[in-house]
A and B are shown apart, each in its own frame.
Chain A
Amino acid sequence: MDPTKYLLGYLLVVLLAVSEAFPMSLSAMVGAALLVAFGVSDGVLSFSEALSFIDLELLALLVGVMIVVEVVDRCGTFRYLALKVVRRVLKRPVLLLVVAGLMSALTSLLLSDEAALLLIVAILLSLGKAGALDPVPFAVSSAIMVNLGGTGTLVGSVPNMAIGIRAGFSFAEFASYLLPCEFALYGVTLALLYLYYRGKLQSSGGEAELEEIEVSRVDVAKGAFLLSLMLSLLIAAGIAGFPASAAALASAVISLALAGFDTLEVFQRLDWDTVVFTAAFTVIIGALERVEALKGLTLWLQEAAGGSLALATLLVLLVSGAASLLLPNLIVALSFIPVIEALPFADKRALWSALVLGANLGGVGLPVSSFVIVMTIGALRREGYEIDPWAVTRVGIPVTVAWLAFSAIYLLTRFSLI
């Protein structure tokens, strides 16, 4: 079977997704329909088989986590904590850079990247409006830290969920492989950001009214409880041998029942574009696997690694990191999963971890690949701050290179590959 037309269909979806001519979900649905039609007409695939490529466990985990995150976000827990912490360090710019960066990363680790970024940028721009600081260096740094946050847990990002489920990692196992690297990268990144922005960090405290923080303490406590509950259930599910998706769905049900928010409103705010894209793209990847269209990449990796797991790990990290510089990280993760599955190594933990790091960390090198950077630039411009998007690459590229270099060393030592 010549896989050329299947690969062309895949490339069409990737190009449509990158060009953002249509919503990602629509691009993937068009591609899935095209590849399934090819498969049915070539007699290599039936419609019901194509439907079976949709990973229901992944979708359940994704929707469950999205519901909990939306409820916790509405409770205002992170808003309260972020404002409390920022208030304490407002007049110390270096400490503010560190605190805003850590808050961004940790918020994104537990909430979505978008929610984390909107929160931190809104706080920084409110302070900027009040004359307390120049928000540009703090906001760009926070966007970079948001991209880094969420690398280390199974529920930290959608690529993580997709990779973690296919790798068979429990929540605790995933964290044990990747969380130490993420925490170490916080230090590396903050040091680089400080070096880059040290002459531009200004914060006077101005006339910002930060004395009163008026939020409902009950809601804040509720949010903290629901988040802790989800994390506890995810850990418990791993120990008991239940799928993480079951824990996420149970947490979602409890969150909706306890929080008292309008359920339909919560559902409306979920990122359905990502959910539908994930479902449709798994069909595309399933069809590609069926006609062995990804075999070329697998064979290339296999030959280049020459049987060395260390080399294969570094190649996966490098290639997926470079790919996610240009492509959405979910596309990179979903496309690489079957490649890693086909590689002839008995223990693939290092390879899966390399894919997690590569897919997550390539995101801030270029503005075009980084949703968080572009969102930050957009918000800064709305508030009247002029910022050249390409100037951000001057900090984004070195940070990405440092992340990938550090990750390479981490993987080699963590999995005793040297």
Chain B
Amino acid sequence: MAKMENLIEKRFKSVEEKYREELDLVSEALGKPCIILHVQLPEGCEEYKELFEKLPEDEVFMAELQEFVRQALKKRAGKLLQERNQG
């Protein structure tokens, strides 16, 4: 049973990047734009490589990231508005 689990994990890993890309393209086609980012393992975190690779599957992390993106967008939009008003 454990072997089967490993096999599933291993085979899916081999196509996971393509799957994520396809998922993003489908979401985009459905009217939900998305961006694909490549984030490198931060320096000094080499020992957390496995945890790092599992982040995209972590729902809490993804929700936090989504929130971070929302805040960043609002901040940038506010700044743009401010610049326009000043200009």
User: Which A residues are closer than 8 A to B by beta carbons?
Assistant: 20, 76, 79-80, 83, 114, 118-119, 121-123, 125-126, 208-215, 367-368, 371, 374-375, 377-379, 381-382, 384, 389-390
A125 and B23 in contact (CB under 8 A), knowing A374-B7, A375-B12? yes
Any A CB within 8 A of the CB of B26: yes
One of B28-36, B42-50, B68-76 at the interface: B28-36
A209 and B31 in contact (CB under 8 A), knowing A79-B25, A122-B19? yes
List A contacts of B31 (CB < 8 A): 209, 211-214
Q: Is the CB of A209 within 8 A of B26?
A: no
A367–B18 alpha-carbon span in the complex (Å): 21
Q: Is the CB of A209 within 8 A of B30?
A: yes
Q: Is the CB of A375 within 8 A of B30?
A: no
Any A CB within 8 A of the CB of B9: yes
Interface centre among A76, A79, A118, A213 (most CB of B within 10 A): A118
List B contacts of A119 (CB < 8 A): 22, 26
List A contacts of B22 (CB < 8 A): 118-119, 122
Chain A min CB distance to B55 (Å): 13
Chain A min CB distance to B32 (Å): 7
User: Which label, helix, strand, loop or mixed, suits the secondary structure of the B interface?
Assistant: helix
Any A CB within 8 A of the CB of B11: yes
Q: Is the CB of B11 within 8 A of A371?
A: yes
Any A CB within 8 A of the CB of B4: yes
Q: From residue 8 to 27 of chain B, which have CB atoms closer than 8 A to chain A? A: 8-13, 15-16, 18-19, 22-23, 25-27
A122–B15 alpha-carbon span in the complex (Å): 12
Any A CB within 8 A of the CB of B57: yes
Tally of A-B residue pairs with Cβ under 8 A? Answer: 81
Q: Is the CB of B15 within 8 A of A114?
A: yes
Chain B min CB distance to A59 (Å): 22
Q: Is the CB of B19 within 8 A of A381?
A: no
Q: Is the CB of A209 within 8 A of B32?
A: yes
Chain B min CB distance to A90 (Å): 12
Interface residue from A79, A208, A377, A390 paired with B29 (Cβ < 8 Å): A79
Other than the known A114-B15, A121-B19, A378-B11, what 17 A-B pairs have Cβ atoms closer than 8 Å?
A83-B26, A83-B30, A122-B25, A126-B26, A126-B30, A209-B30, A209-B31, A213-B29, A213-B30, A214-B31, A215-B29, A367-B4, A375-B11, A375-B19, A379-B12, A382-B19, A389-B8
Q: Is the CB of A214 within 8 A of B9?
A: no
A379–B12 alpha-carbon span in the complex (Å): 7
Q: Is the CB of A80 within 8 A of B15?
A: no
Q: Is the CB of B8 within 8 A of A378?
A: yes
Q: Which 4 A-B pairs have the closest CB atoms?
A: A378-B12, A212-B31, A122-B22, A118-B22
Chain A min CB distance to B36 (Å): 14
Number of interface residues of B (CB under 8 A): 24
Chain B min CB distance to A131 (Å): 14
A382 and B29 in contact (CB under 8 A), knowing A368-B4, A368-B7? no
Q: Is the CB of B57 within 8 A of A382?
A: yes
User: Which B residues are closer than 8 A to A by beta carbons?
Assistant: 4, 7-13, 15-16, 18-19, 22-23, 25-32, 57, 59
A123–B23 alpha-carbon span in the complex (Å): 7
Chain A min CB distance to B75 (Å): 26
Q: Is the CB of B8 within 8 A of A381?
A: yes
Chain A min CB distance to B11 (Å): 5
List B contacts of A378 (CB < 8 A): 8-9, 11-13, 16
List B contacts of A390 (CB < 8 A): 4
A362–B7 alpha-carbon span in the complex (Å): 19
List B contacts of A80 (CB < 8 A): 29
List B contacts of A371 (CB < 8 A): 11
Nearest residue (CB) in A for B32 is: A209
Interface residue from A76, A210, A377 paired with B25 (Cβ < 8 Å): A76
List B contacts of A212 (CB < 8 A): 30-31
Q: Is the CB of A126 within 8 A of B27?
A: yes
Chain B min CB distance to A350 (Å): 34
Chain B min CB distance to A317 (Å): 27
List A contacts of B25 (CB < 8 A): 76, 79, 122
Nearest residue (CB) in B for A118 is: B22
Q: Is the CB of A114 within 8 A of B18?
A: yes
Nearest residue (CB) in B for A213 is: B29
A209–B30 alpha-carbon span in the complex (Å): 6
Q: Is the CB of A375 within 8 A of B23?
A: no
Interface residue from A118, A126, A374, A382 paired with B18 (Cβ < 8 Å): A118
A231–B62 alpha-carbon span in the complex (Å): 43
Chain B min CB distance to A138 (Å): 14
Q: Is the CB of A214 within 8 A of B29?
A: yes
Q: Is the CB of A123 within 8 A of B26?
A: yes
Interface centre among A114, A213, A371, A374 (most CB of B within 10 A): A374
